Structure 1
Amino acid sequence: MAKFNNIFILVALILASGVMASPTQKKISPPKHVPGYPLHLLHCARRVEDECGKEIFLGMFEKLPVSRKCCLQLIKKMGKTCHDDLDKAIVHLPDYSSRASKAIPKGNRIWHKCALVARHI
């Protein structure tokens, strides 16, 4: 089965190459030159199934809901730190940086909605 983790691998490679955030994005900048950070992102991305990674990713940029199943994976398998780190890294990719001001808050809303779902199981 093809992995949706390709976007996250791309994030890791870009961060490993030392791409810096723009001045307008300083408050959401991922760590720079932290040994092991790209591997951390890869590990985070692999904690959820491919379809769930895609739902969560698309939920940040489109008006698409995240399923109960994927919410549970996000909360119980990925965790808040990984979710936030991936969100920050994704919005530093050239194709997504212009939408960072909307994507980061949407990522936070996804987390909070999923946390409510997880509390009710």
Structure 2
Amino acid sequence: MAASHTVCIMLVFIASFVLLVQTGLSDDVTDPPIGSPTEYIYAEEPLSSYQIYLNNCANQLYPICGEEIFSNVFFGNQTFSNICCLNLVKDLGKSCHDDLVKYILSTPKFQKNKVSIWERSEQVWNDCASRAQDNTPVEVEAEPPVEAEPPVEIEAEAPYNV
């Protein structure tokens, strides 16, 4: 039993020593020279006024609605709810919708499908505009408190005479 305990201690010691040597060797690697291609600058550029405007536009959409509408416009593979249509038409507006689509279309990823994306964008807007006209939300008022009905008086019957 003592021999196996000693063997375990030796294995732990050897493993620790190997890790120390590897860690020491990895510190000996020299840093790449300044200006080399592996050096990255992570400072973010300030947003332009147009990008700030687009961010404000995008923030008008509920997150789930932004996903539904984006997916439908750019990929044509998802339906969207009446709530999202109302959010698009009433909160975002036509100019923000068009500007967001135009900005995303300026990226290389969507250039080859530009025409079909614009058509879907117009289709989504027209569909949502008609839904918004048909489904104008009705303000739901709080239900009036239920008045308790007056207790029904039950005449006490005379006890049975036996």
8 A contact 2:54–2:100 mirrored in 1: yes
Counterpart amino acid of residue 96 in structure 2: C
| Pair 1:86-2:70 in alignment | no
Instruction: Decide which structure has the larger Cα Rg and report it.
Output: 2
Aligned-pair RMSD on alpha carbons? 1.5
Q: Quick check: which one's helix share is greater?
A: 1
Does 2:51 match 1:52? no
Separation in structure 1 between the aligned mates of residue 104 and residue 81 of structure 2, nearest angstrom: 21
Q: 1 CA distance for matches of 2:80 and 2:120?
A: 12
Aligned-residue offset at 1:42: 0.5
Identity %: 34
User: Counterpart of 2:133?
Assistant: 119
Contact 2:68 2:78 in 1 (8 A): yes
**Structure 1 residues 55-70: aligned runs within 5 Å:** 55-60=68-73, 61-70=75-84
How far did residue 62 of structure 1 move? 2.0
What count of residue pairs does the alignment treat as equivalent? 89
5+ long unaligned stretches in structure 2: 1-43, 137-162
Amino acid in structure 2 at the alignment position of 1:119: Q
**Larger relative contact order (CA 8 Å, sep ≥ 6):** 1
Q: State the secondary structure of the residue aligned to 1:95.
A: helix
TM-score (norm 2): 0.52
Residue 72 of structure 1 contacts residue 114 of structure 1 at CA under 8 Å; is this kept in 2? yes
> Which amino acid in 2 is paired with 1:93?
T
2:51 to 23, 29, 38: 38
